[in-house]
Chains A and B, each alone.
Chain A
Amino acid sequence: MSAHDSDAVAAIHRELHSHLPPEPALRLKALESLLAEKGIVDTAVIDAWVEVYADSVGPKRGAALVARAWTDTEFKTRLLEDGTAALTEFGFEGQGGGHLKVLENTPEVHHLVVCTLCSCYPITVLGIPPAWYKEAAYRARAVREPRTVLREFGVELDADVAVQVWDSTSELRYMVLPERPAGTDEFSEEQLANLVTRNSMIGTDRTLGAS
C-alpha cells in the first residue's frame, strides 16, 4: 500500500466515524489520551503551547502594520512590495507569514480575500480566522457574488468601485490594507491602529470610522 493512497484514507475515514465518541470534545479527549500513551503527543507541551500562543498572535498585529503604513510612506512601500520582510520588522513572524501579500484598497478598487478550497489565512497577522471564513457559505459565495456577500456584512459598494476577490489557492497569504479614514490627521499611530477592524483586513469591512 502506498503511503499516500486516497482510497485507503477515505476508507479509514468511514471506519473512524463509527469508532469515535459523537461529541467533538469527547473525541478529542479520547484521541489525546491514546496519542499520549503512544508517545505521539506530549500533554505538558500541548498545555504550554496553548499558553504561549494565546498571548501572541491576533489581529492587533495586522492593525499595527496598517497604522504604520498609514503614517510612514516608506514602510507602506515596503509592506506592499514584500509583506513578509515588513512583518519581520515588527517581529510578527509565524504561521502563514512566509509569503505575505498586502493588497491596497483605493477609492476605485475593493479587495476581498477568501479560500474556496480550504481555509488559508494569514494567521500570524490576523489571528485565528472567524467561523464564517471557514464555512461553506462564505467560501462558495465570495467569488461568485461578492457584492451580495459584502452587503451581508453591511458594506454597500458603488457600482464604479471594482471588486477584486483573491482566492488563496497557494501558500501566498493575502491581507487587505484598508483606506485611512478621513479626519484622522491628528491621530497617533496607536489611535489609528484602534480603528482597524479584523474584517477590514479580510475585506468584509471597508469604511473605517474615525470616532
Chain B
Amino acid sequence: MDGIHDLGGREGFGPVEVSADYEGFHADWEERVFAIVRTMGRPSDWSLDWFRHCRELIDPVDYLTRPYYDQWLQTYAAMLVNSGLLSIEEIAQQKAGGPSPTAFAPPLTLEQIPANVRAAQTFDGDAGQAPQFAVGDRVQTSAHGIPGHTRLPAYIRGVAGTVTHYRGDHVMPDDNSAGTKRAEALYTVGFAARDIWPDAEGANDRVQVDLWESYLEPA
C-alpha cells in the first residue's frame, strides 16, 4: 500500500536526531510494551507480517507523531479487537465484559521465558521451484504500487538493478500478511544510487534491497 510508512527517499524531514542515542529503552513503559508483545497470548493466524501491516494502517498523522512503542501498543490493541479477543467497549470502559476468550494460544509461562529470550524466528521455506534469477542478472522492479502489505519500497519502483545475492527461499510477506504462508526466492538486488536519484552525491554509491522474486522481472 502507498502508506506513510514507506519513507525511503521522502524529503523534508530535517536532520537526524543523533543525540537520541541512549542504549536500551527510554522509559519503563516502552520496555513493558516490548515484554507484553513477547509474552502475550495470541490467535494462531497472527504473523509478523500481519503485525507490520496493522502498524502501517495507523492513521498517517499518528504514524509520524506518536512514540514508537505507543504505536506497537495501539497496533496490538487493534489486532486483538479485530480478532475478537477484546472489544472497543471493554477498552472504553476499562473493564472486561463477558467471559475470557479461549480460542488463542495462552500467554508465555515463567518456565518458557529463557527459551523465549533465546528464540530466533527463521523464515526459510521451499518455493517448490528453482530460482528464476542468478547473481549478476539485471532485473527491474514492478512499476506499480502493490495493494495491501508489501516489502517492495516505493523508491525503487520501476528501477533496474543487479542481483548480488540469492538468499534461498523465504516466506513471502505480502501473502503471509493476509494469512497465506508460502515461500518464494529472495534476492538482494543492488541499485546504483544515481539510477534511483540522478543527483545522488556518490558516483559509485549503491542501495542494496532484499526483494522477493514476484517483485522482479528481467530487465
Contact = CB atoms under 8 A, between A and B. Distances in A.
Interface of A: 2-6, 8-10, 12-17, 19-20, 24-25, 27-28, 30-35, 37-42, 44-46, 48-50, 52-54, 56-59, 84, 93-99, 114, 116-119, 124, 127-128, 130-132, 134-141, 143-149, 152-153, 159, 162-172, 198-199, 204
A145 B86 CA distance: 44
Contacts of A152: 15-16, 18
Given A16-B88, A170-B186, A136 B13 contact: yes
A9 to B, nearest CB: 5
Contact of A14 (B35, B59, B77): B59
Contacts of A165: 193, 205-208
Nearest to B50: A4
Interface residues of B, number: 119
Contacts of B118: 93-94
Interface in B1-57: 1, 5-11, 13-18, 20-29, 31-36, 38-41, 43, 45, 48, 50, 52-55, 57
B201 to A, nearest CB: 5
A99 B41 contact: no
Contact of B85 (A32, A38, A148): A38
A24 B179 contact: no
B120 A35 contact: no
A130 B117 contact: no
B129 interface: no
A146 B3 CA distance: 23
B86 A38 contact: yes
A24 B29 CA distance: 8
Contacts of A34: 86, 90-91, 94-96
Query: Chain A interface secondary structure, helix, strand, loop or mixed?
Result: helix
B123 to A, nearest CB: 4
A28 B32 contact: yes
Given A16-B81, A38-B100, A24 B69 contact: yes
B195 interface: no
The 9 lowest CB-CB distance pairs between A and B, nearest first, are A116-B8, A170-B210, A131-B20, A98-B120, A137-B13, A98-B122, A162-B204, A171-B123, A24-B70
A8 B20 contact: no
16 contacts: A8-B82, A33-B94, A34-B94, A42-B108, A45-B107, A53-B38, A54-B31, A93-B118, A116-B7, A140-B7, A144-B196, A147-B201, A169-B152, A171-B48, A171-B121, A171-B171
Interface of B: 1, 5-11, 13-18, 20-29, 31-36, 38-41, 43, 45, 48, 50, 52-55, 57-59, 62, 64, 66-70, 73-74, 77-83, 85-86, 88, 90-92, 94-96, 100-101, 104, 106-110, 113-114, 116-123, 148, 151-153, 155, 167, 170-171, 173, 177-179, 186, 188, 190, 193, 196-197, 200-212
B67 to A, nearest CB: 6
Contacts of B106: 39
Contact of B177 (A4, A96, A134, A170): A4
A132 B22 CA distance: 10
Contact of A13 (B20, B59, B193, B202): B59
Contacts of B25: 128
Nearest to B74: A16
B45 A162 contact: no
A44 B104 CA distance: 20
Contacts of B29: 24-25, 28
